[in-house]
Amino acid sequence: MTASVEESVTSSSQKELTFAVGDGVGSVSALLLRPDVARLLYVLAHGAGAGMRHPFLESIAQRLAARGIATLRYQFPYMERRAGRPDSPAIAAATVRAAVAEAARVAPGLPLVAGGKSFGGRMTSTAQAEAPLPGVRGLLFLGFPLHPPGRPDDKRAQHLSQVRIPMLFLQGTRDEFADLTLLRPVVQRLGERATLHLVEGGDHSFHVLKRSGRTDADVMTELAATVDRWATKLL
């Protein structure tokens, strides 16, 4: 894996990076947000419809940084090219591996977890199931996309049985991409290595209805606190 070809400080703790995916795929962009006292780094992939700069990812990255958890957000090649269709699983998995390697390079010695929002989380677990991601201690899913809306099925979770490291599933109870009558048994079958945290009233983007009495900011705080507690157990 080649080193980053471009780095520039954009704030006191955030860097813009570019790293190579390899096999002729080219390079992709990334954002490293590292607090002054970081104890863990989350390699964070975006969802299918929005890139690494989406407000949700920016918000969770900032809140995790406040808790001493660094993040490396990165683009999949199709998003870098502004293409409409996501990359093939093979290219996506190769990108995940390149991002993990880049995280280890820019933050040597810092423990790693990996995962992401929806598609990004599933592609990370796909890569991990194929062959362990070097140095990654756990997988963290921000809304695992178990199935398309209105088409309940658990086939997308079959590969998770090959993952042997801890997994945290953060899921909204109104998530149309994950019927809880299917997701709960999936998590149960994975045994002690899997943890499911449900966000009451949250949809696939973790938005909550106004009548719930909660705000999206409240939910983001809940997510960050849950990740913090889970990640601490991995150290």
**DSSP states along 60-113:** HHHHHHTTTEEEEEE--HHHHTT-SSPPPHHHHHHHHHHHHHHHHHHSTT--EE
- The residue type at 28: V
Q: In Å, what is the CA distance from 41 to each residue of 111, 115, 214?
A: 6, 11, 29
pLDDT digits (tens, 9 = 90+) for 130-189: 999 999 999 999 999 999 999 999 999 999 999 999 999 999 999 999 999 999 999 999
Q: How many angstroms separate the CA atoms of 233 and 225, rounded?
A: 13
What is the distance between the alpha carbons of residues 139 and 141, in angstroms, rounded to a whole number?
Answer: 7
Residues 67 and 133: their CA atoms lie apart, in Å, by: 24
Lowest model confidence (mean pLDDT) among 19-23, 60-64, 229-233: 19-23
What does the block give as tokens for 183? 């997701």
CATH architecture, domain 6-232: 3-Layer(aba) Sandwich (3.40)
Q: What is the pTM assigned to this prediction?
A: 0.93
Locate all alpha helices (DSSP H) within the chain, ordered by sequence: 55-65, 77-80, 89-106, 119-130, 180-190, 216-232
Does pLDDT of 108 surpass 90?
yes
